[in-house]
Amino acid sequence: MPAMPRDDPTTVRTTPQTSQTQPAPSTPVKNMPQVPHPITAPSGQSAGKNASDSSQMEFEAKSARDGAWYDVATFLSHRSLETSDLEVLVRFSGFGPEEDEWVNVLKNVRQRSLPCESSECAAVLQGDLILCFQEGKEQALYFDARVLDAQRRRHDVRGCRCRFLVRYEHDQSEEIVPLRKICRRPETDYRLHQIHSGSAASMNAQKTGTDPLAGNSLVVNAPATAPQKLPTPLPAGESEAPPAKIA
């Protein structure tokens, strides 16, 4: 059984439910030579990405056999249907040629989802589309899911202890999962940049002794006269003695 090419070493990919070759579609197609076509990102595409990103963009594809998402090792060929839909023949990472599959580019191919690190739980918000690891009795696969709620917890030496209520889109089932089962979409990178920028600004302010809100345009006017301190009440039957004159 090939190892799951995700960050969690305890999870493994299971083979799609059937390994039989798919029958040829009835729609006429124009086949291209089956030569690997590695797709690289533009020169500026990797700017602002995580340090783990390489210059070559990574993709994942949704298998029609089980509805789960798998990492793409390479694109072998492509073809255009008479319906103007573009399909690519993909080889899934960790699988052999017998599992190659034609996949619709627009619907079932996208940039690879990113496994979450312990410090990235703040970037997972309610309503987000995520890729979530669902463990069943017979298989454990990655499926699309929506975050319904997030329970934030204080981190400890084990890392993130937050819990997320998710609803899987393929069967509408709900489950509470830890962060390690979640892969976030690359579109959420900007949130991490904002979080890191805010943390850096706060640390710099603490080092320099400046107020991070110094640039705030809100002006608070001081009162025209300083508030007067009220006299301390004396016990009953006593009178306040005049201050002694210092010789």
95 with 33, same domain: the answer is: yes
- Classify the C-alpha dihedral 15-21-24-29 as positive or negative: positive
Higher-pLDDT residue of 230 and 82 is 82
Residue with tokens 């993130």: 160
User: What is the average per-residue pLDDT within 81-93?
Assistant: 93
**Would residue 47 count as lying in a domain?**
yes
**Would residue 63 count as lying in a domain?**
yes
- Within 8 A by CB and 6+ apart from 93, the residues are 5, 70, 71, 72, 73
**Would residue 78 count as lying in a domain?**
yes
107 with 124, same domain: the answer is: no
- Within 8 A by CB and 6+ apart from 100, the residues are 76, 89, 90, 91, 92
- DSSP bridge partners of 167: 146, 174
Higher-pLDDT residue of 84 and 33 is 84
Tokens of 109: 């191919």
Higher-pLDDT residue of 198 and 166 is 166
157 with 128, same domain: the answer is: yes
104 with 149, same domain: the answer is: no
Higher-pLDDT residue of 83 and 237 is 83
pTM over 0.85: no
pLDDT of 35 above 60? no
- Among 35-49, 100-114, 226-240, name the one with the lowest average pLDDT: 35-49
106 with 179, same domain: the answer is: no
- State the number of CA atoms in the 13 A half-sphere of 29 facing the CB: 19
105 with 143, same domain: the answer is: no
Beta strands 109-111 and 69-81 are unpaired
- Within 8 A by CB and 6+ apart from 14, the residues are 1, 139, 140, 141
- State the number of CA atoms in the 13 A half-sphere of 43 facing the CB: 0
pLDDT tier, 101 (very low <50, low <70, confident <90, very high otherwise)? very high
Share of the chain above pLDDT 70, in %: 57
* pLDDT tens digits, 165-190: 999 999 999 999 999 999 999 999 99
- Per-residue DSSP letter, 177: E
Share of the chain above pLDDT 90, in %: 51
pLDDT reported for residue 56: 79
**Would residue 234 count as lying in a domain?**
no
48 with 75, same domain: the answer is: yes
Domain that holds residue 33: 29-112
124 with 67, same domain: the answer is: no
Q: Which of 56, 86, 112 delimits the end of a domain? A: 112
What whole-number distance in Å separates Cα of residue 28 and Cα of residue 119?
49
- Among 34-38, 182-186, 209-213, name the one with the lowest average pLDDT: 34-38
